Structure formats: structure tokens, C-alpha cells
Amino acid sequence: MLTDDSQPQPSAYPGGNEPQLRAIAYSLDCLIPGFYLWLGPIKVRLGGSLPEKDYPGTIHSNAGVAIVLPGYRIFSTYQGDYDPR
């Protein structure tokens, strides 16, 4: 949707532009070792990394858990993608 103002518009999917979900998505996308949990308003990231400034991805799910181990082994309940919708 195009608007006249320069203010960002709210997203239509869960998670929107939440920095915590972006950090979890970035860490999972880059396979950075850590433990990640998101359950509604609760977001836990033990390990991982903050996303790059221009990283557009996020998690399109209200709940999930993931573990990334050294050696690029990932175990996750999340089966979606990180691309913006």
C-alpha cells in the first residue's frame, strides 16, 4: 500500500518488525549456535547475534523453539521462511 507520509506502516503478520524476533530469525538464518524460544510476548535468545542493520527477515510464527549446535546442526519447530511478506 502506498501512502503519502514517510512513516513505516505496521505489518500484517505476527512478529512485524519486532527486534527480538528479527534477532532470532537472523541467528537461525546464519546458523549461529544458541537456544531460541518465542512464545507470544516471550522471546528468549541465549547465544546468537543481533541482526545486521538491513536484515529484513523475521519469524512468521507466534510460537516455536530452536537449538543450533556448533557444526551447523539445527533442531527447530519452525518450518517457515524468514522472508518479508
What is the amino acid identity at position 10? P
pLDDT tens-digit readout, 11-28? 433 445 589 999 999 999
pTM: 0.76
Cell numbers placing 54: 538491513
pLDDT tens-digit readout, 66-76? 999 999 899 99
CA 85 – CA 66 distance, rounded (Å): 22
Q: Which of 45, 46, 33, 34 is nearest to 72 (CA)?
A: 33
More confident residue, 85 or 30: 30
**Residue carrying C-alpha cell 557444526:** 71
Residue 79's region, left for phi above 0, alpha for psi from -120 to 50, else beta, is alpha
